[in-house]
Amino acid sequence: MSSVSSQPQFRLTQPPSKVLHLRNLPWECTEEELVELGKPFGKVVNTKCNVGPNRNQAFIEFADLNQAIAMISYYASSSEPAQVRGKTVYLQYSNRQEIVNNKTTADVGGNVLLVTIEGADARLVSIDVLHLVFSAFGFVHKITTFEKTAGFQALVQFSDAETASSAKNALDGRNIPSYLLPEHLGPCTLRITYSAHTDLSVKFQSHRSRDYTNANLPVAPSAIDANGMFSVGLDGKKLEPESNVLLASIENMQYAVTLDVLHMVFSSFGPVQKIAMFDKNGGLQALIQYPDVQTAVVAKEALEGHCIYDGGFCKLHLSYSRHSDLSIKVNNDRSRDYTIPNTVMMNPQPSILGQQPSATHGPPAHPYPWSSFCSNNRPSA
């Protein structure tokens, strides 16, 4: 009996039944694999595959009770556990005496889908890509994403069960189109079941959850997900909630960068409303406000890592700011509100650091040709 109690894959508290409950099965285990597993012990007369929230459980029913007991007894005393595709399977008696055809929760239609994304880079699939994929079948109300032991998952809420069913039937087992994913992401396969939820609770708009029915919902103050974990982007950095205000840090400042230079660079992508410059950690930083998030996103993607001046000088590093509307009290050489026309310029304010050193040689006559950059989307070497 000691060998039985030492086997972690058994729970023998249930009275014997000709129906056995199998757990920890590989994904999409087939009826044929279950029959093959039970065949040495007797005739398997019924099976139920892919049940449970992660679809990794199943039931098999033997023709006779003694056959089920034989299977449990064999693996309880064997040093070799039951396996399917090399994966250890946990066995126990079921509390049911036969397999009935009642549908499980995962089989009952609903308006919310549970989506598991398979693939080495599954967690890098953005919520915007999921929205694009599923909105092809109807209006998507809400999406939440999270990580479980089964992998990266999402809940997708539609208006009704019919729309959800159409999306499930069309997308289950399919790969997300490669043109929607970054080039270096491998295949990402969708596995879809119905969720027991009917209305998802979304408290913040973020890169992990979105409510498309409530435009006034506040944006999450950080990129921390519901599990308290940082989500990681393609470059290994924390993903940021998008904003209409960009924070620009400038490195390798061999030449002075003025407010007018920043305005010229960033207005190539849309109207710049406000700019505020300041010194921090021995370097120059600036906040640049656009009228909307979309314009800021385009500017960030185009300018990140590029240099204002040819030769690698004044390199831009951009992130999204938590600000949404900058407070510009005076217009001077460090801050400007471009939404107020003909504003009188104030005298420059003295820096707390005193006179700033100038470069030993003047900057080029013109910064990098941004109009050419915008059309080519890449500076020349």
Could you state, in chain order, the average pLDDT of each consecutive group of 10 residues for the chain (381 residues)?
A: 42 77 87 89 88 83 93 91 91 85 57 90 86 90 84 91 90 88 84 87 85 79 41 41 88 85 89 91 89 85 83 86 87 89 50 36 47 38 37
User: Hey, what are 106's tokens?
Assistant: 């995962």
Query: In this structure, what token pair is assigned to residue 15?
Result: 């009275």
What gap in Å lies between CA 11 and CA 185, rounded to an integer? 41
Question: What is the rounded CA–CA span in Å between residue 132 and residue 23?
Answer: 34
Give the chain's end-to-end CA distance (angstroms, integer).
75
Q: d(Cα 376, Cα 368) in Å, to the nearest integer? A: 13
Domain coordinates in residue numbering, the chain: 2-93, 106-211, 245-376
What is 245-376's CATH superfamily? RRM (RNA recognition motif) domain (3.30.70.330)
pLDDT of residue 54: 75
How many angstroms separate the CA atoms of 131 and 129, rounded? 5
Per-residue confidence (pLDDT) for residue 303, from 0 to 100: 85
The string of DSSP letters for 227-250 reads TS-B-B-TTSSBP----SEEEEEE
Other C-beta atoms within 10 Å of 82: how many? 21
- Residue 33 in contact with residue 52, Cβ under 8 Å? no
Question: Fold identical between 106-211 and 245-376?
Answer: yes
Give, in order, the Cα–Cα distances in Å from 284 to each of 179, 280, 318, 349. 38, 6, 12, 16
Candidates 138, 146, 142, 126; CA nearest to 164 is: 138
**CA pair distance 115, 123, nearest whole angstrom:** 12
- What pLDDT is recorded for position 342? 61
pLDDT of residue 343: 54
Per the document, the length of the chain is 381
| Reported CATH class of domain 2-93 | alpha beta
- Residue 85, phi-psi category: left (phi > 0), alpha (psi -120 to 50), beta (remainder): left
Which one is the CATH code of 106-211: 1.10.1660.10, 3.30.70.330, 3.30.1050.10, 3.30.390.50? 3.30.70.330
DSSP 322: S
